[in-house]
Structure 1
């Protein structure tokens, strides 16, 4: 009797979760996203919303990254909004003021666009399965994407779930088919250069400052780990290396890695440091990408500074050899 009741209860819970997910997806239509506007209340909530998608895209375009665009107005979106307000010299809060919204929507282009799948998109090659352990990765020839959906989601800075929601019934199998994606392309060619980078170890953020100490870009990050804490003070950029080979050093004794010998993992977006490595002037430390964009600022980074792959690429375009990187222990 108890076992049967448990099955019934489980079925009800699963049905409830599916109904909630379906309801959220139903709201995320192109028309609803295009028309979404703030209503003066605090931005909050773990459920995707049309406003969440629009706000995240607008912030991403302005170089104030919310991390993975998923429509959820969580901590990363709040951090990006606060930083954008700071850059615009406006009061920071969890609400979107009329003045702040006017600044963001000065880029009046639609936040969604149509994209035609190419043969390169759908043909791969793709990994059949990404190993869970580092030791199992070292024998692979490359650490590529595991699916068309993963590759497209990263290309457009969005979650796989949002990609699926915007394209109901689409299997992403045929070149030439049109799909709906978010449009994060900047309004103009990017010519900015950072005079310094600031890594806030407490807030788990990265800021880029230009001339006259102007805040020009922001990124949520994962900074450091218990087993290998991030450094303090000022380091400098020593290298910018796209598609890096990852070298494991057994001296660090990372959790889950049993090997006592050095080994290498081939390049690719699913490499442990993603597809970008920005080396710093302390051995073994750097700013890098990740194969898990949804976990940025939510999981440890073995002492380095982890960003989404696309944000790591953007920072790489802002810095050069010698750019100072300040590690801040407490909020300024």
Structure 2
């Protein structure tokens, strides 16, 4: 029994020793020394040439045989040690990759030697940045504004504005970036920044005006029953409710055709000029405070749809529409006409359409839907644009044109594509030939007085009043050829000869007949 007890005691003591040794070993493993972290971190970048290298330790009680090398150079003597921390100051490091090697010994039985080696990069150069859009001062009609440009490849590019609002992205390998920032309404100062891995940054500021709200305009109300009788070129007036008129562009269209586009700034008087003086000459656009008036040109007789618009610098457009009924002329053929026209000229138009056999039924007194349909048939017959309006091309075809042939001493009135009237005339003599070319009728007079022209042949002559013996007879049809016209003559014997001072003479009854067919603006073609 005694021997067994001895063996049991020895076994117990041995087991305890083994357990103690195992526990100590486990503690040594758990508490083995190590480098917890380093700064600058491995593979990181720093923006300074004098970074402080820091090594944070754990489970290191007694440190022996310390050696620190930076880029292979021993820096152990410069190490400053604190609790669980080693600090190595540096200076003058070049831009590029640098290597740190830290090695030391400890009393730990499991890990007696510790070594840590890593690399970091010094980068003191700011990244490149070239902003392309938007340009400084850009005016955008959308809140979503796209920022584009080039920056250092891989750099982080950000756009910031307002109270800390921003958006960011990464420049591509080719260096391109594109970011969309949703900016607030109004003038916004934005900063575009490119930041590299080291933290170096390059910035540029761009000012953007975001304007997504269109201006507002109103036109002065025109009564549906109102008829403009004093002019065929009325001005359209209105009010700019918001925005500065001087910063807007104004435009207008008549019956769908654009007739005007002008900047508001051009209508403002110079600072040293009174508004009354500035408005003395009628301009396409006139501005007085927030009120404006625009000239839309000569309107056709009848009902016209006029659209006026205003565009702000961002491109936002506001428009307003009105209708104007014009009945300012009674002379058929002198003005364009459209649906709604009334008066003698409208009645004569219907009569002409009736004569041309394109108007069916009774002859209307005004320009109504039947007139419009008849005009389309007339235009189709003569291969004209089928507008349904008595426009310039239709008017020229229907009213006609005068063709003078000098060699045959004839004047023909061409109407509806055929010779409507033909007359014998006298033309200019060899000393005073009738000019050839294309002209227009610009003047019509009944019983005209004759005034001597500024020409050598008329030197010393005085005016001759209307009546027998007047060289112009009873009618004068002036053309745009200087001092040249068609007129009557009491010298009937001269008709058919080259006897005038350049004008075209006619028998008095015939010129009186022609006079009734002629309208201002009628083409006059004179050929040899």
TM over 0.5: no
- Structure number with greater CO (CA < 8 Å, separation at least 6) is 1
TM-score, scaled to structure 1: 0.38
TM-score, scaled to structure 2: 0.24
Greater strand content: 2
Query: In terms of Rg, which structure is larger?
Result: 2
Greater helix content: 1
